[in-house]
């Protein structure tokens, strides 16, 4: 495969992932709001959906010179259009992932893991959260760990397995005490309901896995 062809393939893959994330966030607006209303402001789903609507509206105009450049544009759009704390956190995740990809026009499995790790570091730096604080990190980090392990061993179902881990980990946040965000102010009342951000990661991961499976099948 030529460098240009590899670059187009990598960009097409990243575009698929971003579009799937955006469409999933929009489709689950009400669900995410309902989850957030238990101990939060109830606007998480609304904020996320409005931001990703802007991403889709401007999708065709984003820089496609490399996957990293594309992700940075997406991150800037989210940071400026998503309200509340979600904008800076989700926007930073995309920006850091784009920065980790750099100017590469082809991405290996190791590159993808590095991008995801960079996104996690950005989320932690922006929001100050750590594992166990009952945030989206509690679904995202275990999923990345599983993805990295499966890719290292050549597992054919790496993405599907990671998505299942994210979904399961999100459900397990129900038993955690919230230590960050609005929910942290409710103390022990936060125990018994899952973290909306973690659930969003789980839902999105499942949809990305399905979209990737369909995309890969169509290419064969």
Write out the two tokens for 154: 């050549």
CB atoms within 10 A of CB 90: 28
CB atoms within 10 A of CB 37: 15
Is the predicted pLDDT of residue 187 greater than 80, yes or no?
A: no
CA distances (Å), origin 111, targets 39, 108, 148: 37, 5, 10
Read off the pLDDT of each residue in 67-93 and give the average, rounded to a whole number: 93
Whole-angstrom distance, CA of residue 91 vs CA of residue 82: 8
CB 104 within 8 A of CB 66: yes
What pLDDT is stored for residue 186 in this prediction?
Answer: 65
Is the predicted pLDDT of residue 220 greater than 70, yes or no?
A: no
* Conformational region of residue 134, where left means phi above 0, alpha means psi within -120 to 50, and beta covers everything else: left
* Domains identified in the chain, total number: 1
Give one DSSP letter per residue of 42-53, joined into a string.
Answer: S-HHHHHHHHHH
Read off the pLDDT of each residue in 71-91 and give the average, rounded to a whole number: 92
Nearest residue to 212 (alpha-carbon basis) of 56, 15, 4, 59:
15
What pLDDT is stored for residue 206 in this prediction?
Answer: 98
Nearest residue to 59 (alpha-carbon basis) of 44, 50, 46, 70:
70
Is the predicted pLDDT of residue 5 greater than 60, yes or no?
A: no
Whole-angstrom distance, CA of residue 156 vs CA of residue 150: 8
CB atoms within 10 A of CB 206: 16
Whole-angstrom distance, CA of residue 172 vs CA of residue 50: 28
Interval 100-149: pLDDT, tens: 999 999 999 999 999 999 999 999 999 899 999 999 999 999 999 999 99
Write out the two tokens for 101: 């990809």
DSSP alpha helices (H): ranges in the chain?
Answer: 3-27, 29-36, 44-57, 67-81, 86-101, 109-127, 137-152, 158-172, 196-219
Write out the two tokens for 79: 């940071």
25 band by pLDDT with thresholds 50, 70 and 90? very high
Domain that holds residue 24: 3-219
Write out the two tokens for 148: 């990295």
Indicate which CATH number applies to the domain containing 171: 1.25.40.340
Whole-angstrom distance, CA of residue 135 vs CA of residue 73: 25
Nearest residue to 100 (alpha-carbon basis) of 67, 61, 57:
67
């Amino acid at each position: 495969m030529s460098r240009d062809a590899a670059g187009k393939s990598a960009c097409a893959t990243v575009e698929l992932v971003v579009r799937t994330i955006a469409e999933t966030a929009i489709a689950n607006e009400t669900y995410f709001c309902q989850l957030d209303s238990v101990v939060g402001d109830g606007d998480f789903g609304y904020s996320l959906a409005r931001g990703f609507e802007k991403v889709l509206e401007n999708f065709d105009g984003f820089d496609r010179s490399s996957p990293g450049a594309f992700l940075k544009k997406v991150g800037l759009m989210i940071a400026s259009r998503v309200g509340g704390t979600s904008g800076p956190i989700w926007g930073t995740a995309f920006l850091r992932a784009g920065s980790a990809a750099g100017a590469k026009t082809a991405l290996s499995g190791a590159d993808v893991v590095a991008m995801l790790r960079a996104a996690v570091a950005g989320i932690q730096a922006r929001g100050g959260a750590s594992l166990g604080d009952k945030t989206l990190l509690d679904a995202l980090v275990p999923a990345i760990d599983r993805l990295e392990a499966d890719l290292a061993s050549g597992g054919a179902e790496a993405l599907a397995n990671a998505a299942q881990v994210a979904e399961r980990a999100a459900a397990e946040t129900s038993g955690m005490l919230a230590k960050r965000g609005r929910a942290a102010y409710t103390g022990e009342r936060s125990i018994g309901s899952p973290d909306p951000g973690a659930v969003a990661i789980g839902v999105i991961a499942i949809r990305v896995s399905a979209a990737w499976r369909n995309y890969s099948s169509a290419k064969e």
